[in-house]
Structure 1
């Protein structure tokens, strides 16, 4: 019985592990994570620092977004919020921390500046998850040559080399930085795609794929000829996996009987669909125009 158990991890957790694993080999991203959390802690634990930051933001005419942490039960959403807040508040935070960096009594602000300098849906089916992962992977591969939305906004503002101004702040930019960025981006995307295969590869074969194919009616072919053989191989995979449990079940007879009942089920569903279509075409479409396509 225990050999038949199917372990399914949370899809969102798998995706977060994929992103996290792909970033571990990049020290700059690790330092960025530390900096974002450090900024969050600095303002979250100090009402004085928060008031000062608001004052700086008002003087710079910046709409301040509350700094966020990237630690939490849902790592990716927290990371998105933390990065978005950092980008929006970048000039205000930088000016505020710089004003305190030389203060011997404000060690935290000084440490944060050093850190900056070092790196300047519940109803998803397996079929829908697989499609979503393919779209995500294709979008990432496209980003190897075409910058994504946020990177494009950054590059457009900074401009080609030797442009080095972002949000009114002068950046430390070298001529080799563009090539280095491209190499890091390509390595990161390749790593993410590899980890997607590692984390989600089991969804594309075995009992997972069989169950997703058989029991998701949107996969069933409309043509009766194609429907006749649809799912037979998946049924064998399904029965083989749960063999120990099925053999102990009084209602289970054999794989041959299961195939016969599988065909009966498909025929019954097909006939029911045809009956509904015939009823609809018989005049209900005209009588109920509000339900028309």
Structure 2
């Protein structure tokens, strides 16, 4: 008995397969041609062939057969008779076998099956889309968690616990990316999407200014932070360009770091052609060729620092505030005793503020206001307040402290707080700092523009000059004088001959009697009047020197002259007379066109403005007809009046890169600063774009719900196998 192979059980016994290696794919037609040449035989079609060859079709009336696959794709089948519409009448089993094994037939078969089997691939694609949508929805939840960690400036290690909390609350989240490394990657993708929006804004902006500042982080890396100021929908806007580690801290190193930041953003040299000004803190390495802006809040700080150095009474106030802060900042015992004393007096105490080191003027004003804060609901100056509690505690430390340094400091503070002229000067300085702090807050706004800064400094100078004539109405000094005068009248009405003057229950000496008289005079309070007059004169002098470019004083600097020339766009400086208004600003306009000729020419704004400017200032509005002049207005609006945004950026850096996170890379710190300061709120954040970007960035397809083999077999498995 002959042996049968296993494949013989799966084909009819009558059919004898021909090995493929011995059959040529194109021999089926040749067999037909040979058959024609031979002597004709009476061949008949057998019905069992239809079961053996599923592709075979037989037309009984016309007596021919063909291939369903090949007839559907005649071009692919070539010149085969089985692909013709007339088919073939050569009814031979061997011919059918050869055609079944031919290469062209198999290609047509695959094409036919793929066409007929479309519901299955469509179903697979549909299911894949459903799975991908579910994965994206789940990853959006995970990205939201990563964004929360970055927005709240939390360590990456808090990410896992946030996911665990959400799972505990019933949310189903996969554990594939349940680690801090994945959180850092997600934060990087989110930051890249924000950076892409920044790139678009920079590319669309016709003009921009850059603001830079340097600082050394906790890992002793010297970094430069770069911001750009552009116009967004008609309003100034500051956006982060980059946070770069500088190789060298000289001017060329800062310039290279700035270029590197723009290169990381995606723009090479286009930003440089649009730059019209630069804002910085006034360091020598930050002075440029175009319009360098020394940060105006820094100017204000330096002006008041000069006043502090030149006016002894101002320096005494700073020293008093610093000694009070030092007493309670470095001694928890002293702070505890002060709070206990405040409870006995019924005073709600605030922590004394610091005025030393890097402090904006509002911090100094806040520290002084805290010391002079009245107590009680009615805020009456006779009620015990913070001043009272500090005085009594200093008196206690003077008598009880065994430390000579603390006792001496307390004795000095107590003596200064008893001096009537010093107390009056503190109230005057509180009024002065309040006015200056208001201007400082204006300069620290991100949307402040040049006309606002000009109006602000002019109003500040007028307010300070008015203080030399009379006290500020409703100010601290006016309230003190009114209270002391009430005390004098009350004691005189009671027949007292030895008058006592008190502030918050503390008896003040020196020129207190002169403060209680009607109207201040040089004769009654010479020390106070001299200090006030000297402080006002010195403050006005240094403010005018620091802000000379805004006050339209003569200067040989082209940059300062360019800033002054922008006054023609401030309606407050326009002349009231029609004849003067007709020719107003022609000279300044010529200078601006010449100074900014390079950037204006790049924007095709090299036309004559003389007649245009005359029409603009006399017949408003002509915005729709005369748009060219608005390019200069655009330049004015993007001038970096303040670089306080850089200080805010470094404040965020110090919060993010703390002592326990000192190993963070500079690029990671930049991403975290960008999200913390410029990212939308958690409610407004949409993670869809970031998730889609993350799915498309992988070298292989992302599988968030992938489950690998367990690292250890379940307990009892090995025993069961044994």
Q: Which has the higher helix share?
A: 1
Map of 2:327 onto structure 1? 42
Does the 8 A contact of 1:164 with 1:173 survive in 2? no
Does the 8 A contact of 2:311 with 2:534 survive in 1? no
Trace 1:45-124 onto structure 2 (pairs within 5 A).
Answer: 45-88=330-373, 89-116=386-413, 117=415, 120=419, 121=442, 122=445, 123-124=447-448
In the TM superposition, what is the alpha-carbon distance from 1:102 to its structure 2 partner?
A: 2.3
Map of 1:211 onto structure 2? 566
In the alignment, structure 1 residue 236 sits paired with structure 2 residue 533: no
Identify the match of residue 166 of structure 1 among 503, 511, 521: 503
Structure whose CA Rg is larger: 2
Q: Go from structure 1 to structure 2 and tell me whether the alpha carbon gap of 1:15 and 1:163 turns closer, same or farther (over 3 Å shift).
A: farther
In the alignment, structure 1 residue 128 sits paired with structure 2 residue 465: no
Q: TM-score, normalised by structure 1?
A: 0.76
Q: Which has the higher strand share?
A: 2
Does the 8 A contact of 1:227 with 1:266 survive in 2? no
Query: Matched residues in 2 for 1:95 and 1:197: separation?
Result: 42
Q: Go from structure 1 to structure 2 and tell me whether the alpha carbon gap of 1:45 and 1:247 turns closer, same or farther (over 3 Å shift).
A: closer
Query: Matched residues in 1 for 2:528 and 2:572: separation?
Result: 43
Does the 8 A contact of 1:4 with 1:242 survive in 2? no
Secondary structure of the structure 2 residue equivalent to 1:202? coil
Map of 1:155 onto structure 2? 481
Secondary structure of the structure 2 residue equivalent to 1:165? strand
Query: Matched residues in 2 for 1:264 and 1:132: separation?
Result: 28
Map of 1:24 onto structure 2? 309
Does the 8 A contact of 1:19 with 1:192 survive in 2? yes
In the TM superposition, what is the alpha-carbon distance from 1:185 to its structure 2 partner?
A: 0.5
In the TM superposition, what is the alpha-carbon distance from 1:126 to its structure 2 partner?
A: 2.1
In the TM superposition, what is the alpha-carbon distance from 1:230 to its structure 2 partner?
A: 4.9
The two structures, once aligned, show a CA RMSD in angstroms of: 3.7
In the TM superposition, what is the alpha-carbon distance from 1:133 to its structure 2 partner?
A: 1.7
Query: Matched residues in 1 for 2:328 and 2:510: separation?
Result: 29
Does the 8 A contact of 1:57 with 1:92 survive in 2? yes
Map of 2:462 onto structure 1? 138
Larger mean Cα displacement after TM superposition, 2-11 or 15-24: 2-11
Larger mean Cα displacement after TM superposition, 169-178 or 261-270: 261-270
Map of 2:633 onto structure 1? none
Q: How many residues align?
A: 269
Query: Matched residues in 2 for 1:46 and 1:177: separation?
Result: 41
Q: Go from structure 1 to structure 2 and tell me whether the alpha carbon gap of 1:266 and 1:137 turns closer, same or farther (over 3 Å shift).
A: closer
Query: Matched residues in 1 for 2:599 and 2:453: separation?
Result: 28
In the TM superposition, what is the alpha-carbon distance from 1:168 to its structure 2 partner?
A: 1.0
Query: Matched residues in 1 for 2:614 and 2:310: separation?
Result: 54
Does the 8 A contact of 1:15 with 1:196 survive in 2? yes
Secondary structure of the structure 2 residue equivalent to 1:170? strand
Query: Matched residues in 2 for 1:109 and 1:200: separation?
Result: 41
Give CA deviations for 1:51-78 in whole Å, capped at 9, x if unaligned: 1101111111222122101135443111
In the TM superposition, what is the alpha-carbon distance from 1:138 to its structure 2 partner?
A: 1.8
Query: Matched residues in 2 for 1:181 and 1:37: separation?
Result: 22
Map of 1:288 onto structure 2? none
Larger mean Cα displacement after TM superposition, 110-119 or 84-93: 110-119
Secondary structure of the structure 1 residue equivalent to 2:532? helix
In the TM superposition, what is the alpha-carbon distance from 1:241 to its structure 2 partner?
A: 3.1
Map of 1:258 onto structure 2? 608
Q: TM-score, normalised by structure 2?
A: 0.33
Query: Matched residues in 2 for 1:111 and 1:158: separation?
Result: 30
Map of 2:548 onto structure 1? 201
Query: Matched residues in 1 for 2:330 and 2:583: separation?
Result: 64
Q: Go from structure 1 to structure 2 and tell me whether the alpha carbon gap of 1:11 and 1:114 turns closer, same or farther (over 3 Å shift).
A: same
In the TM superposition, what is the alpha-carbon distance from 1:177 to its structure 2 partner?
A: 6.4
Does the 8 A contact of 1:100 with 1:106 survive in 2? no
Query: Matched residues in 2 for 1:63 and 1:3: separation?
Result: 51
Query: Matched residues in 2 for 1:178 and 1:224: separation?
Result: 50
Larger mean Cα displacement after TM superposition, 133-142 or 161-170: 161-170
Unaligned residue ranges in structure 2 (runs of 5+): 1-275, 277-286, 374-385, 420-441, 489-497, 515-522, 553-560, 626-722
Q: Go from structure 1 to structure 2 and tell me whether the alpha carbon gap of 1:4 and 1:172 turns closer, same or farther (over 3 Å shift).
A: same
Secondary structure of the structure 2 residue equivalent to 1:24? helix
In the TM superposition, what is the alpha-carbon distance from 1:111 to its structure 2 partner?
A: 2.7
In the TM superposition, what is the alpha-carbon distance from 1:246 to its structure 2 partner?
A: 6.3
Give CA deviations for 1:201-236 in whole Å, capped at 9, x if unaligned: 11233211223434x688789x99987645422211
Query: Matched residues in 1 for 2:609 and 2:348: separation?
Result: 64
Unaligned residue ranges in structure 1 (runs of 5+): 275-293
Query: Matched residues in 2 for 1:30 and 1:23: separation?
Result: 5
Does the 8 A contact of 2:500 with 2:507 survive in 1? no
